[in-house]
Amino acid sequence: MYDNTRRPGAATCAAARGTGYAGGVNASVVFNPFVPSYRRNPYLQLDRLRAADPVHRSDVLQSWILTRYEDVLRVTRDHQTFSSDARVATGQLAAALSEQRSNSPLGDTRSLLASDPPEHTFLRGIVNRAFTPRSVEQLRPRMEQIAESLLDEAPDDGEWDLVEGLAQPLPVIVIAELLGIPPEDRARFKTWSAHIALTTDIMQSEDTLETIRGAMDELVEYFEGFIADRRAHPREDLISALVLAENEGRRLTGPEVVAFATLLLVAGNETTTNLIGSGMRALLAHPEAMAALRAAPERIPAAIEEMLRYDGPVQGIVRIATARTTIGDRQIEAGEVVMGMTGAANRDPAQFPDPATFDIDRADTRHLAFGQGIHYCVGAPLARIEAAIAFRMLLDRWPTIEAAGDAEIGGTFLIRGPVRLPLAIRR
Ligand code: HEM
């Protein structure tokens, strides 16, 4: 997904560069995520695909594209058949990954997201010790302070960009504080985070690859110094906890701590930014829902679950088949890439009645926006708290919030959300 150590995009799209066409086994179905309209609304194509060819072989992505809820759920739960470790891939992907690894400053070090058991079990054990729901809940007052001070910069009345003003800085500052990064280093942190998040793009130019590599090199160097300092002088922060935590009698190595810190940086920032941005877009399009939340703010957590289902920040998860298997009536070979489109699964009418309707009272909230199974999002409690704080404060401060122009949608094939969302706000 959003991991520098597993980059299906760069690897799988070489064949597609310049073609612009995504044909498949079922020749009548065209799936083309490269057209500009896909960014504005991927669900039109994904809905069509689910109806016509739910287990779709995409030549251009050199992957299987799954759009049914039950198939995506199965892939996330069956980690034996569907690996998160790209080293088991075959063909072009394997070759590209091996080249990438030899260039990576982290070498062969696996991150949590890109590993399978038993390695994943060990890493997750450490993380679960250091990153508990309780430790996250303890941060709530500090998160509220950060959000307050960001909102203090917004005008009482006027135009204001939600992304620039709140959705982007809030998660960056929270993660930086959680890790123990000093305030003076935050600006660099934000830039690295944005650059490394480009790894989820399915089409990467040489310039983009260069930008990503540059950011990775700088970040790794920064973290190495930082981690050495915390080893010698532990403090009350997540990096110290990661350095000290033990599981099965073993501690994380230096590169493993760096890999995890990098993962948090990318995983925790763009995604939470997108949740706040896309969530607000949904409320702007559904004023009755916004009014209901103003009248009863205790309904905000349920509304956030619906935001995650309706237009989630992470659109898909990536796995590699470890053995020949079937999904639906299609045969998948060992080493082939499978993309479980969580965004499409969350709009599967077989699971969610009337799925294109934004309904904050929806009874079934079993969306797949945070994944499922052993890789279920570590940061889900944190993201939920941040989003709840953001929406509560926004609605509380400004009795009028309206769109002030079009949102600009950014992100990549697998991560989606507004990069600019101008609002007209009035007290
Ligand atoms: C709304 C915000 C977020 C969304 C939608 C989201 C989504 C996801 C998804 C779908 C996965 C599963 C990936 C897979 O199965 O391949 C995942 C894993 C992960 N997420 Fe998040 N995430 C969010 C916020 C965060 C935050 C705030 C953090 C940390 C501060 C975080 C850290 C992680 C980590 C470390 C993993 C890997 C877990 C593992 O492999 O065991 N995420 N996330």
Cα gap 423→410, rounded to integer Å: 17
Q: Which of 111, 105, 97, 112 is nearest to 7 (CA)?
A: 97
Cα gap 206→358, rounded to integer Å: 39
> Is the confidence at residue 23, as pLDDT, over 60?
no
In the prediction, which pLDDT does 220 show?
A: 87
Residue 292 Cα to ligand 1 midpoint, Å, equals 29
Q: Which of 64-78, 137-151, 264-278, 317-331 has the lowest mean pLDDT?
A: 264-278
Nearest atom of ligand 1 to the alpha carbon of 178: 30
How far from the centroid of its chain's Cα atoms is residue 295's Cα?
31
Pocket of ligand 1 (CB under 6 A): 1, 76, 84, 112-113, 124, 175, 263-264, 267-268, 271-272, 275, 312-314, 317, 342, 369-371, 375, 377-379, 382-383
Q: Which of 209-213, 231-235, 315-319, 351-355 has the lowest mean pLDDT?
A: 209-213
pLDDT (tens digit, 9 = 90+) per residue, 346-378? 999 999 999 999 999 999 999 999 999 999 999
Classify burial at 77, counting beta carbons within 10 Å of its beta carbon; exposed 0-12, middle 13-18, buried 19 or more.
middle
In the prediction, which pLDDT does 102 show?
A: 62
Are 40 and 46 in contact by the 8 Å Cβ rule? The answer is: no
Cα gap 426→418, rounded to integer Å: 22
Nearest atom of ligand 1 to the alpha carbon of 376: 12
pLDDT (tens digit, 9 = 90+) per residue, 79-113? 999 999 988 777 776 766 666 666 666 666 778 99
Please name each of the domains of the chain with its CATH number: 8-426 (1.10.630.10)
In the prediction, which pLDDT does 107 show?
A: 64
pLDDT (tens digit, 9 = 90+) per residue, 38-62? 999 999 999 999 999 999 999 888 8
Number of H helices, E strands in the chain: 18, 14
Strand partners, 332: 325
Q: Which two tokens stand for residue 186?
A: 């935050």
In the prediction, which pLDDT does 26 show?
A: 52
Indicate which residue's Cα is closest to atom 34 of ligand 1. Answer: 378
Q: What percent of the chain is predicted at pLDDT more than 90? A: 59
Q: 204 vs 318, which has greater pLDDT?
A: 318
DSSP 237: S
At 9, the pLDDT band (50, 70, 90 cuts) reads very low
pLDDT (tens digit, 9 = 90+) per residue, 166-194? 999 999 899 888 888 888 988 888 788 77
